[in-house]
């Protein structure tokens, strides 16, 4: 687990970034940090679910890839979070053309640029641009 902007605290909320491509995940985490948005970076939906279960009040937004190794994928985790906490915004990233299949989620087609990422994140969190 990589925590950007210091260690998790009980009152902080975080963007949870899940991608098995560690280089991409780190770049996304650093982009969040550059915009002053605290982020947690993990490599699987299984790890993400464990973090969410351990820190249920600290999830501000889920940013997840679909295809990752493990018992569950990013889409299954998104479904679980949407069911448990419908107010948590979810952004799905994928290199495939999945966006038409899941209109309930915000979607970023890979590859995307950091401007598109941050616009989508800020919109989801209702932050000023």
* Reported pTM: 0.88
15: nearest Cα among 121, 127, 110: 121
pLDDT in tens, 70-124: 999 999 999 999 999 999 999 999 887 665 566 678 999 889 999 999 999 999 9
Contact yes or no for 108/93 (Cβ under 8 A): yes
Report domain 14-124's class: alpha beta
Is residue 12 very low, low, confident or very high in pLDDT (cuts 50, 70, 90)?
confident
* pLDDT over 70, % of the chain: 85
Sign of CA dihedral 109, 42, 21, 70: negative
Average pLDDT, the chain: 88
Q: Where are the domains of the chain?
A: 14-124
């Amino acid at each position: 687990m990589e925590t950007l902007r210091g260690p998790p605290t009980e009152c902080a909320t975080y963007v949870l970034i899940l991608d098995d491509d560690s280089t991409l995940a780190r770049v996304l985490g650093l982009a969040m940090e550059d915009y002053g948005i605290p982020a947690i970076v993990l490599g699987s939906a299984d790890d993400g679910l464990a973090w969410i279960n351990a820190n249920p009040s600290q999830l501000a937004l889920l940013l997840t890839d679909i295809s990752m190794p493990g018992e569950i994928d990013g889409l299954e985790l998104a479904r679980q979070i949407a069911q448990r906490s419908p107010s948590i915004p979810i952004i799905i990233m994928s290199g495939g053309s999945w966006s038409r299949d899941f209109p309930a989620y915000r979607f970023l087609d890979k590859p995307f640029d950091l401007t598109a990422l941050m616009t989508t994140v800020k919109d989801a969190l209702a932050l000023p641009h």
